[in-house]
Amino acid sequence: MPETPILDTVKIPADMRGFDIPKLKRLADEVRAETIDAVSVTGGHLGAGLGVVELTVALHHLLETPKDILIWDVGHQCYPHKILTGRRDRIRTLRQGGGLSGFTKRSESEYDPFGAAHASTSISAGLGFASARDQKGEKNKVVAVIGDGSMSAGMAYEAMNNAVEATDGQFMVILNDNDMSIAPPVGAMSAYLAKQVSGDAYQRIRNFGKKFVDHMPRPFRETARKAEEFARGMVVGGTFFEEMGFYYVGPIDGHDMTHLVPVLQNALKITDKPVLVHVVTQKGKGYAPAESSADKYHGVVKFDVVSGKQAKSISNAPSYTKVFGTELIKHAQHDPLIVGVTAAMPSGTGIDLFGQAFPDRVYDVGIAEQHAVTFAAGMAADGLKPFCAIYSTFLQRGYDQVVHDVAIQSLPVRFAMDRAGLVGADGATHAGSFDVGFMGALPGMVLMAAADEAELAAMISTSLEIDDRPSAFRYPRGDGVGVEIPELAAPLEIGKGRIVREGTKVAILSLGTRLQESLKAADQLAARGISTTVADARFAKPLDEDLILRLAREHEVLITVEEGAVGGFGGFVLQMLAARGALDTGLKIRTLHLPDIFQDQDKPEFMYEQAGLNANSIVANALMGLGLEASLAARA
């Protein structure tokens, strides 16, 4: 544990409001050490938090949180914020079952006024708080902190475009730019200029000049306005943000407390228009292993603080993400029309592997899922074969484009939906729970779910055979099950599942990676003398109606199992069976799916138990279907 004498005196932000600059610097050093030590125990997002330590300390020093509103975009940089807002005693429960969330969360603390985990929402939310304050006649401050990566999303600009109209009081956006470095001379000059243009004297002169110019003829007013903006833009940038209606201040070194505190203090006093403060930081700042790492320790597992070495788990099977990337490369070697598209998640989706092999055929569009989908649609319309690789939970953000720009036009965009299903420590915000329902609802969509890494390879091949409509395949976070992958997997017959194990009394129909648990359940049922069929559906759309009708006809109980929300695969099966009259004969059916709640983070095995998607739960549902639940209770 690091020594933290100053941090030990700070239980809530009010405790640091009287600190001077030297003491704030020491506090920041201690918060950084505490953050590193905590994440070494829990794992999580490290680099982003280290980059905003000084900014976090400065903001809580100047603001009267929680009365003043402080919103962190995405929230993966909020660990220092949590340490300073009454949660230090629980900081080593981050991302654990029953512990602190890895993101901001309204139900966790009054200092988290808005929950976040998807990027680019902070300006819109902050503007909502500012407008609510204005409506109620209150005077509290509102600050939204957004990263340069998040600023690539259209939503951020939609909010800025609306800011001048939505509030007539104080509203500050801090652009945390960690993809840019300022050389010391430029940094010092920009800090000086930022302090001047945010200061009271400049504001008084500017406001006096504005009143004077307002009485001049319109051409002179416009010339004067542009002259002032151009002069300031030439030395400190920001003309673009000024055109959006913001008063621009910066860039300022986000690690220099001497400059940071007075500039923020001045900027917080500006109330005649929204303010954007451009703060430059270094991701991973203050921890050498993070600073020297290519990803700046964006996301880490447990690690040794001294060496920075991460405790990577050992697996004999490749991750599904890696399988996607390597299989796509195989096909692209023979097909020059294959291209990859992702939205700021190249390594998370495996597109980075494809990009290493074919750098001219991969497109990372930034945090802009809507654009990614329509961009891929345009490619498909002109004959390319785009694979749009986006996390299931992020694809939700581009759903209108999937419907309108892809599905209605029957364009052969291939959606690779990573992180389908539960995601453990990342919790509800990153769980791919809904894609089966929202993709399966679209006419013409071919929707597949891999049960293992070999099936994922086959589904990639299958999607390449589909050139007259969109297709999608889902696969989970984590490693495969260790099955052998063919040198070049053959495509599947569209809409056809397979029987994995034959039985006579109970049928388990699995979609996706719950197949292994379904087989375990069949073993347990066999031990009770109950003959069980296990089928792998492979396709949620189109359904293998012949297979499902056979299972319904030849078994007393039919159980569907999927790692998705209610209304997905099980709902599709029920609707088909009802339409075909297969429910009229006394068939007992159970649809197992994720519970109708947002599950908090925990170890995967506990989450599956809570969800009722492990072997024991499948067995319990089979026994209840057979009227044997009493005997089950006796064994419990």
Q: Are 544 and 537 in contact (CB under 8 A)?
A: yes
Measuring CA to CA, which residue among 382, 334, 390, 338 is closest to residue 362? 338
Distance CA 464, CA 339 (A): 12
Give the β-pairing of 247-253 and 275-280.
Answer: parallel
397 carries an active-site annotation = yes
Report d(CA 216, CA 212) in Å as an integer: 7
Identity of the residue numbered 337:
L
Strand, helix or coil for residue 303? strand
Amino acid letter, residue 256: D
Peptide bond into 66 cis (omega under 30): yes
473 vs 420: CA distance, rounded Å: 9
Helix, strand, coil share of the chain (percent; to 5) = 45, 15, 40
Rounded to a whole number, what is the distance in angstroms from the first to the last CA of the chain? 43
> Considering 133, 397, 414, 419, which one is annotated as catalytic?
397
What would the two tokens of residue 630 be? 């009493």
Catalytic residue selected from 32, 87, 283, 474: 283
Rounded to an integer, what distance in angstroms lies between the CA atom of residue 172 and that of residue 53?
19
Beta 385-391 vs 338-342: how paired, if at all? Answer: parallel
Helices 257-267 and 21-42: crossing angle, nearest 10°? Answer: 100
CA–CA separation, 339 vs 316, rounded Å?
29
Read off the DSSP letter of residue 360: G
CA 195 to the chain's CA centroid:
35
- Residue reference for tokens 């903006």: 229
Our answer to whether residue 590 is catalytic in this structure is no
Q: What is the largest CA-CA distance in the chain?
A: 94
Catalytic residue among 30, 34, 54, 369: 369
Show which residues are catalytic: 283, 369, 397
